[in-house]
Chains A and B, each alone.
Chain A
Amino acid sequence: NAGVTQTPKFQVLKTGQSMTLQCAQDMNHNSMYWYRQDPGMGLRLIYYSASEGTTDKGEVPNGYNVSRLNKREFSLRLESAAPSQTSVYFCASRQSGGHGYTFGSGTRLTVV
């Protein structure tokens, strides 16, 4: 089925470990986004990519890096995980010229 695929679905990290969250879409969308969701705070934009080769900071970029590997893939990297990064992470994509955003199923990350 067409859509946004995130891997892994669950992850537990120790403080200071690094990891990369993967996101891929097969809808030929130009724009891709990373959000984190914390209780009582809604979804907050971490980074986004308007097109292949470009990335921009969102509301809460500190502690994260991103790579727009190609048009399909947009990864989020935590270089040195902290307990404050415990959250659910959602990837999304958007068709240029359209209005709809498609969200992945999320990655639940716990940092201990």
Chain B
Amino acid sequence: ELKVEQNPLFLSMQEGKNYTIYCNYSTTSDRLYWYRQDPGKSLESLFVLLSNGAVKQEGRLMASLDTKARLSTLHITAAVHDLSATYFCAVDPQYGGATNKLIFGTGTLLAVQP
């Protein structure tokens, strides 16, 4: 059974600081997704990482994937209040011809304080 673990579960940080959210998963996969969710809203796609070593950046967020370590990171640079949200990673374990589907981590609630 695929398990996806995120840490930390809660992150309170000051504006201007840097931090990293970690996503570990338990089975072979080279497809990893990052989503953002604001309170009461649906999921907004941030990044899709499709190969070992993939790195993508958008604004103050940068995501990377190490398939050998089964680890993805979401790095936040110089945080601003607008980044406050819950961030989810999700793994598509597609293997052996199985149907694509997403298995989610538990999420990281990010609160950026002024």
Q: Which residues of A pack against B, CB within 8 Å?
A: 31, 33, 35, 40-45, 48, 50, 56, 58-59, 90, 92, 94, 99-101, 103-106
Interface of A is mostly: strand
Q: Chain B residues near A105: list those with CB within 8 A.
A: 41-42
Would you give the shortest CB distance from A105 to chain B, in whole angstroms?
5
A94 touches B100 (CB 8 A): yes
Contact A44 B42 (CB under 8 A): no
Known: A31-B99, A42-B88, A43-B88. A103 touches B104 (CB 8 A): no
Asked if B102 and A50 make an inter-chain contact with CB atoms under 8 angstroms apart, the answer reads no
- Distance in Å from the Cβ of B114 to the closest Cβ of chain A? 26
Which chain B residues numbered 57 to 114 have a C-beta less than 8 Å away from chain A? 88, 90, 99-107
A-B contacts, 24 of them at CB < 8 A, read: A31-B99, A33-B101, A35-B104, A40-B9, A42-B4, A42-B88, A42-B104, A42-B105, A42-B107, A43-B43, A43-B88, A43-B102, A45-B102, A58-B101, A90-B42, A99-B48, A99-B50, A100-B48, A101-B33, A101-B45, A101-B102, A103-B42, A104-B42, A105-B41
Residue positions of B touching A, CB distance < 8 A: 4, 6, 9, 31, 33, 41-43, 45, 48, 50, 88, 90, 99-107
- A100–B47 Cα distance when bound, in Å, is 10
